[in-house]
Amino acid sequence: MEGQTAELVLVERSDGLATLRLNRPRVMNALDRDTLRALAAAIDAIDADETVRAAIITGAGEKAFSAGADIQAMAAMASTEGHAYVGLGHAALARVDDCRVPVVAAVNGVALGGGLELALACDLVVAAEHARVGLPEITLGIIPGFGGTQRLVRRIGLARARELIYLGTMVGAADALRLGIVDRVVPRERLADEAAELARELAQRPPVALRQAKRVTRAAMETTLEAGLRLEIEAFAATFASEDRVEGLRAFLEKRAPRWKGR
């Protein structure tokens, strides 16, 4: 089982970047239980690898980033199994959200249901022009169950998120950009390069400061302004105590590129 599970998410590492590729193209990279476990394991491995400075998640093939939860498997589940399945989805996507390094979603086709929820768990989202996204679960008699009701509201606001979730509407890449669901839209043939260029740019930023920036910006959506500002002070102090801060200021004064140590 371990060997089979590992192949469900292909991982490539190069020059400080890790690319995770969902690898079930025949079923549009649907997120069954084994794929969710493989995704969480891949993120764990990235977190343990200090040479990785940024990550990309995409799907195999050109049709789908991920069509979402495995509907065929869900149709055969009892209610208790469904509860366990959604818990597994939440745990896997929380690992993406909590990843030590910034994660870029490269949406190379449809991202529906759990597929869009996976993209929303990433830090930045780049989509190909032909991509379509949505949370169509309502049309199946259920609701988004991998965090979509919370992350979509936080990303685009309550009214717009409710419309998409209540109606199960799918939108194209241009509309997804206008709504704020994705951050960049590029031609299909440019997607891999654009995502890699963005990830490389992130990888060149100081790791300590990036981790703290990720921590405090997420808190801005989850806490009061007063608590968030206290957290910002703590995070700033953490960066100020780092070797990277010393190097960054010195490099600026010496008019050279900084050499980040990640500590």
Q: Which of 50, 81, 117, 197 does the annotation list as catalytic?
A: 117
Residue 158, token pair as written in the block: 């309550």
* CA distances, 25 to each of 40, 61, 119 (Å): 19, 6, 17
What angle, 0 to 180 degrees and rounded to 10, lies between the N-to-C axes of helices 243-254 and 225-240? 70
Asked about 117 being catalytic, the answer comes back as yes
Residue 254, token pair as written in the block: 């010496």
Residue 120, token pair as written in the block: 């929303």
Q: CB of 68 within 8 A of CB of 20? A: no
What are the start-end ranges of the E strands in the chain? Answer: 9-14, 17-22, 54-59, 64-66, 103-107, 110-112, 124-128, 132-134, 170-172, 184-186
Residue with tokens 């590729």: 21
Asked about 62 being catalytic, the answer comes back as no
Residue 96, token pair as written in the block: 């993406």
Q: Which of 2, 7, 50, 137 does the annotation list as catalytic?
A: 137
Residue 148, token pair as written in the block: 């979509």
Q: CB of 66 within 8 A of CB of 59? A: yes
Residues serving a catalytic function are 117, 137
